[in-house]
Amino acid sequence: MYVESTGIQVIETIEELQKTLNRNERKDTTVGFVPTMGFLHEGHLSLVSHAKEQNDIVVMSIFVNPAQFGPGEDFESYPRDREKDLRLASEAGVDIVFIPSVEEMYPADGGIRILPGRQADELCGASRPGHFDGVLKVVLKLFNIVDPDRSYFGMKDAQQLAIIETFVRDFNLRTAIVRVPIVREEDGLAKSSRNVNLTAIERSEAPAIYQALQSGVEMFADGANPEAVERQVAEGIIANSSGKIDYVKILAYPELGPVTDDTEEIILACAVKFSSTRLIDNIIMSTKDGTPCSE
């Protein structure tokens, strides 16, 4: 453990963090946890803001998790900036930053696997086999290490959020999952660490994704069927950007199954591939009054 010049406490080992956050010694002190892969932006800082409002101590992890990257994906090139991350975390009011090495998190492999259910077969999971296995692996380890009262996840990664909520519920993990709305640029593009990989032209085109989703939500609220909405959204993205559609889909949320008469919330989600990066976005909407839930 050491303290940065900014005053933030930095811990790099599991043993030290568990000693620091020992639940038996917390008494009435609550811990809010913000897991990240670093390269912080306003979306991450929004998670911190919510955590600070609801807890006495805010812990952030910064760990680029190799277990959730598939062959040919961008693990090595994933953006990293430790010095900037620590400065932003300190300014946002984070108390402890946990920055373990890959060797610290994964010192050995005993072959035990955590397999997500059918939720992982939709959306991003359909084209990224094994991705959510790696997400649940690191999330479970981090929950066990930090033992937080509340954990904060952004709604931009809505499939990840749905799977983690289900995991926590079904396996009686004692942290509460708090949903935090998407943070967007002024032109509507969802904040993402990967946005820096867009070319200038792609960056100017990227807001078309959110614009198309908005038009799709309006269509659905007016009674259009899911297939027509998906087609219209895809056509809007193709017409206004050079991105290639990975998927555009409407599903019940958080079940990520077909929309039925009993569905209370739906997600309209998409993934779009540009030259060197893949962007995801979504809008979650109540089927009762058409109110967006992820904004």
Please give the annotated binding residues for beta-alanine, written as ranges. Answer: 68
Task: Bin 281: left if φ > 0, else alpha if -120 < ψ < 50, else beta.
Answer: beta
Please give the annotated binding residues for ATP, written as ranges. Answer: 37-44, 154-157, 183, 191-194
pLDDT for res 287: 87
CATH code, 193-286: 3.30.1300.10
Is the confidence at residue 178, as pLDDT, over 80?
A: yes
Q: What is the pLDDT of residues 15-46, one digit of tens each?
A: 999 999 998 888 889 999 999 999 999 999 99
Parse the chain into domains and list their residue ranges. Answer: 2-180, 193-286
Q: Model-level pTM?
A: 0.92
Which residues are catalytically annotated?
44
Please give the annotated binding residues for (R)-pantoate, written as ranges. Answer: 68, 160
Is the confidence at residue 75, as pLDDT, over 80?
A: yes
Q: What are phi and psi of 100, to 5 degrees?
A: -85, 160
CATH code, 2-180: 3.40.50.620
Same fold, 2-180 and 193-286: no
For residues 188 and 190, give the distance between their C-alpha atoms in angstroms, rounded to a whole number. Answer: 6
Mean per-residue pLDDT, 261-283: 96
Q: What is the pLDDT of residues 233-258, one digit of tens each?
A: 999 999 999 999 999 999 999 999 99
pLDDT for res 5: 58
